[in-house]
Amino acid sequence: MKKLIVILSLIALVGCKSKKVHQKDEVVKLALSQVNSSQKNKAYELGKRVLMTCNTSKFKPFTASEATTSVINNITIEKLSKTCFKYRQWYGTFKDLELAEVYKNTNDQTTIYRFRALYSKKIANKELRVFINSDNLVSSIKTSDWTDTFTYNP
């Protein structure tokens, strides 16, 4: 019985261990005039390269000078083909990207470029986010439905 009490006490002690408090990411909207034009062009070109794959079925993989290792490993022609099949069926042909907003995560110094993706079908209402880290490398690319208000979900 004493062993059971000791074991339960240890479990209770471990279960009540204090947890780290995560610092909330602070994201600040930047004026388009404040944005580095070469980085803005890089985000546009790399984002467009990904979405143009849906039209051409050809993808030039990212290099180490363009993107992080995780992005290079995660964006493959196979994964893009699956996504592109759905997008072409629902939204039509990809036309272009339109820069809407730019945000800066002040904790990790990531710049978030928010583009509106334009497609041939008028029902298409998609956005593409290109995340560029402090080393000027694409650290993430994300597509979602367009909303007028920006919400940050890393």
Tell me the Ramachandran region of residue 57: left when phi exceeds 0, alpha when psi lies from -120 to 50, beta otherwise.
Answer: left
Query: In the structure, what pLDDT confidence band is assigned to residue 146 with cuts at 50, 70 and 90?
Result: very high
The label of the residue with tokens 């334009």 reads: 118
pLDDT at 22 over 80: no
Query: In the structure, what pLDDT confidence band is assigned to residue 38 with cuts at 50, 70 and 90?
Result: very high
- The larger pLDDT score, comparing residue 5 to residue 143, is at 143
pLDDT at 92 over 80: yes
Q: Of 115, 110, 98, 120, which is closest to residue 150 (Cα–Cα)? A: 115
% of the chain residues with pLDDT over 90:
55
DSSP 24: P
Please write the tens of the pLDDT for every residue from 93-105.
999 999 999 999 9
Q: What is the mean pLDDT of residues 87-94?
A: 91
Decide: pTM greater than 0.75.
Answer: yes
The predicted structure's pLDDT at residue 110? 94
* CA–CA separation, 27 and 151 (whole Å): 10
- Cross-sheet strand order for the sheet of 126-132: 27-30, 94-105, 110-119, 126-132, 138-145
Residues contacting 90, CB < 8 A, separation 6+: 121, 123, 124
Domain ranges within the chain, ordered by starting residue: 28-145
Long-range CB contacts (within 8 A, 24+) of 83-88: 83/54, 83/143, 84/53, 84/54, 84/57, 87/54, 87/119, 87/126, 88/54
Residues in the chain: 154
User: Hey, which CATH number is domain 28-145, 3.20.20.140, 3.30.1600.10, 3.40.50.150, 3.10.450.590?
Assistant: 3.10.450.590
